[in-house]
């Protein structure tokens, strides 16, 4: 059962081959037996999961099954869940229980899913390796010496280890796509505004977007179907109708124009990844796609631009964690200033503090124009590059990351080398575009990802291309050996 996709599990449930309760037990057992070492979950909710599974089974019996009726899933621990801890991977929120559900959580409940628990992540979604979590790093199911990627590493690793058939993640600069690539699963970052951010703890509000993580593009289509759409509680969510994402999955690729940005290849890219990308391009070309070289000439500015805008926004967003209203409070504060200083000093980890310092600096009087405003101008140029490219092409294709998963500890002492992991993903967030990472092969026995980028609200096109690719390849079917057996 654990090897099946969500679409296959729905079939099995509909045919009565298994119940949601049985399915949920299988996944809970796998988590119980094998997650201790992997650390993909921060909180597991077995009692609530079994209760929800039984309710899903009853709905099915009554002929009232909904879209994802009885399918177990996991949420990144940054999405507020009523009555269940939401820690954001931080000591600051280690005991925070939200009084309400995020809209995305509500929508997945309404779609009939069964919540297994909350997944590990880099603290407040800042990181690319999951080593910034207060709860310790997530290990990569393909090789426990390697990082899972981040910040949604708990979600991607739990899907890869078959602890859950699907999960949610959030992506501010690559945090769905980069760990999806490093764990060998499929992850979709929707267009900014496609999925409500209400109840998703904010990191950088103009960049954050939640999306699905699963084994296949088809499963991502099912999950996106449930979470996309306007939400009056989030004024940045888009008032745009939601198409049927599965309807387009089987469209032919004949005549599809795929652009390869020359800036995504060559220097900095692992040659073995480049070879895997070229192989993928050939497969898509044989399926009828037309390949063109394009240029996104401001790509080299994406990381410095992001590391002005994201810290600026997070320094503002995280100012609410002051030891008074939410989360961690230091012991015996001497006075108000001491309360602020020690609560924040003890509550936040090193990377979060680094970002808060950077953000406060670039927003301070005298520097605002030269850093923050300048970064916003460059952001516009990066966005224009994409719009220029989409005049002649339908989809952009390239690597998700410059290299496969690195070893735990390798980049911890050098934040800039960690930041460079997102070189191909960050510009997409700056422009607010949708993008997907799908498994594209292995380098040194570690998975690598292929990234597809589309124009605004064209998630359907991304899912179509990825689905067609997955009909012609089997990278997405590979399971890490340690997690192959059904008893695991
Ligand atoms: N790795 C990037 C960062 O550390 C992106 C994180 C994200 O997408 N949440 O900020």
pLDDT tens for the chain, 488 residues long, are: 899 999 999 999 999 999 999 999 999 999 999 999 999 999 999 999 999 999 999 999 999 999 999 999 999 999 999 999 999 999 999 999 999 999 999 999 999 999 999 999 999 999 999 999 999 999 999 999 999 999 999 999 999 999 999 999 999 999 999 999 999 999 999 999 999 999 999 999 999 999 999 999 999 999 999 999 999 999 999 999 999 999 999 999 999 999 999 999 988 999 999 999 999 999 999 999 999 999 999 999 999 999 999 999 999 999 999 999 889 999 999 999 999 999 999 999 999 999 999 999 999 988 888 999 999 999 999 999 999 999 999 999 999 999 999 999 999 988 888 998 999 999 999 999 999 999 999 999 999 999 999 999 999 999 999 999 999 999 999 999 999 987 54
Q: Are the C-beta atoms of 124 and 317 separated by less than 8 Å?
A: no
Structure tokens at 161: 């280890």
Going from the Cα of 113 to the center of ligand 1, the distance in angstroms, rounded, reads: 27
| Candidates 128, 133, 151, 237; catalytic one | 151
Residue 46, H or E segment:
helix 46-61
Q: Are the C-beta atoms of 310 and 301 separated by less than 8 Å?
A: no
**Strand partners for 310:** none
CA distance 278 to 282: 6
Which pLDDT belongs to residue 488? 46
Going from the Cα of 405 to the center of ligand 1, the distance in angstroms, rounded, reads: 16
Going from the Cα of 233 to the center of ligand 1, the distance in angstroms, rounded, reads: 25
CA angle in degrees (0–180, nearest 5) for 198-201-203: 115
- 3-state secondary structure at position 20: helix
The set of residues, in sequence order, having a beta carbon less than 8 Å from that of 481 and lying 6+ positions away, is none
Structure tokens at 334: 């001497």
- DSSP letters for 360-401: HHHHSTTTIIIIIIHHHHHHHHHHHHHHHHTTT-SEEEEESS
Q: List b or e across 17-48, with b for residues whose CB sees 16 or more CB atoms inside 10 angstroms.
A: ebbbbebbbbbbebbeebbeebbbbbbbbbeb
| Candidates 76, 189, 411, 461; catalytic one | 76
Structure tokens at 208: 């954050």
CA 176 to ligand 1: nearest atom:
8
Give the number of other CB atoms < 10 A from CB of residue 198: 20
CA angle in degrees (0–180, nearest 5) for 261-262-268: 110
**Strand partners for 214:** 166, 186
Which pLDDT belongs to residue 417? 87
CA distance 299 to 263: 7
CA 174 to ligand 1: nearest atom:
8
DSSP classification of residue 198: T
DSSP classification of residue 335: S
The set of residues, in sequence order, having a beta carbon less than 8 Å from that of 82 and lying 6+ positions away, is 98, 99, 100, 101, 105
Catalytic residue status for 316: no
CA distance 249 to 163: 26
Packed helices 20-38 and 6-15: angle between N→C axes, nearest 10 degrees: 150
CA 2 to chain centre: 21
Q: Which protein residue's CA is at the shortest distance from atom 5 of ligand 1?
A: 173
Which pLDDT belongs to residue 266? 81
Catalytic residue status for 151: yes
Going from the Cα of 307 to the center of ligand 1, the distance in angstroms, rounded, reads: 10
CA 239 to chain centre: 23
Which pLDDT belongs to residue 485? 86
Which pLDDT belongs to residue 373? 94
Q: How many CA atoms lie within 13 A of 269 on its CB side?
A: 23
Which pLDDT belongs to residue 326? 84
- 3-state secondary structure at position 178: helix
Q: Are the C-beta atoms of 9 and 1 separated by less than 8 Å?
A: yes
For residue 265, which of 285, 286, 280 has the smallest C-alpha distance?
Answer: 280
| Candidates 129, 175, 315, 343; catalytic one | 175
Which pLDDT belongs to residue 487? 59
Residue length of the chain: 488
Exposed (0-12), middle (13-18) or buried (19+): which is 245, by Cβ within 10 Å?
Answer: buried
Catalytic residue status for 82: no
User: What pTM does this model have?
Assistant: 0.98
CA angle in degrees (0–180, nearest 5) for 478-482-487: 100
- Residue list, ligand 1 pocket, CB within 6 Å: 125-128, 151, 171-175, 203, 310, 422
Q: Which protein residue's CA is at the shortest distance from atom 4 of ligand 1?
A: 127
Handedness of CA 401, 36, 163, 58 (dihedral sign): negative
For residue 216, which of 187, 242, 189, 245 has the smallest C-alpha distance?
Answer: 187
Which pLDDT belongs to residue 341? 96
CA 351 to ligand 1: nearest atom:
4
Going from the Cα of 151 to the center of ligand 1, the distance in angstroms, rounded, reads: 6
CA 429 to ligand 1: nearest atom:
8
């Amino acid at each position: 059962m654990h090897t099946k996709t969500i679409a296959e599990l729905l079939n099995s449930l509909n045919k009565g081959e298994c119940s949601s309760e049985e399915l949920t037990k299988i996944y809970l057992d796998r988590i119980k037996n094998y997650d201790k070492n992997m650390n993909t979950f921060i909180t597991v909710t077995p009692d609530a999961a079994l209760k929800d599974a039984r309710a899903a089974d009853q709905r099915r019996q009554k002929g009232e099954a909904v879209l994802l009726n009885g399918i177990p899933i996991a949420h990144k621990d940054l999405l507020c869940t009523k009555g269940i801890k939401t820690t954001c991977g931080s000591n600051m929120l280690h005991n925070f229980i939200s009084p309400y559900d995020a809209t995305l959580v509500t929508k997945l409940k309404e779609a009939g899913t069964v919540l297994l628990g909350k997944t590990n992540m880099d603290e407040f979604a800042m990181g690319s390796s999951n080593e910034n979590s207060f709860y310790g790093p997530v290990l990569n199911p393909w090789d426990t010496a390697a990082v899972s990627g981040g910040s949604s590493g708990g979600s991607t690793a739990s899907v890869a280890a078959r602890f859950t058939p699907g999960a949610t993640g959030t992506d501010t600069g690559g945090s769905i796509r980069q760990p999806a690539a490093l764990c060998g699963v499929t992850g979709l970052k929707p267009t900014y505004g496609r999925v409500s951010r209400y109840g998703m703890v904010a990191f950088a509000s103009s960049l954050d977007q939640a999306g699905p993580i699963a084994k296949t593009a088809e499963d991502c289509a099912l999950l996106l179907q449930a979470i996309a759409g306007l939400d009056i509680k989030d004024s940045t969510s888009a008032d745009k109708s939601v198409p049927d994402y599965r309807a387009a999955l089987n469209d032919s690729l004949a005549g599809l124009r795929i652009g390869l940005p020359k800036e995504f290849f060559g220097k900095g890219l692992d040659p073995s990844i480049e070879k895997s990308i070229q192989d993928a391009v050939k497969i898509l070309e044989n399926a009828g796609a037309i390949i063109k070289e394009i240029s996104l000439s401001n790509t080299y500015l994406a990381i410095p631009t992001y590391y002005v805008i994201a810290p600026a926004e997070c320094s503002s967003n995280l100012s609410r964690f002051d030891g008074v209203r939410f989360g961690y409070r230091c012991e015996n504060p001497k006075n108000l200033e001491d309360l602020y200083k020690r609560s924040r000093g003890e509550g936040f980890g090193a990377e979060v503090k680094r970002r808060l310092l950077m953000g406060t600096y670039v927003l301070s009087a005298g520097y605002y124009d030269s850093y923050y405003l300048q970064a916003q101008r460059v952001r516009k140029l990066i966005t224009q590059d994409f719009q220029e490219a989409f005049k002649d092409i339908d989809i952009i294709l390239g690597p998700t990351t410059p290299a496969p998963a690195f070893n735990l500890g390798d980049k911890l002492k050098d934040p800039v080398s960690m930041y460079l992991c997102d070189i191909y993903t960050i510009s997409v967030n700056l422009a607010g575009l949708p993008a997907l990472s799908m498994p594209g092969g292995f380098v040194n026995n570690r998975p690598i990802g292929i990234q597809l980028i589309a124009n605004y609200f064209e998630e359907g096109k991304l899912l179509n291309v990825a689905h067609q690719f997955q009909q012609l390849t089997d990278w997405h079917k590979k399971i890490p050996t340690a997690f192959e057996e059904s008893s695991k």
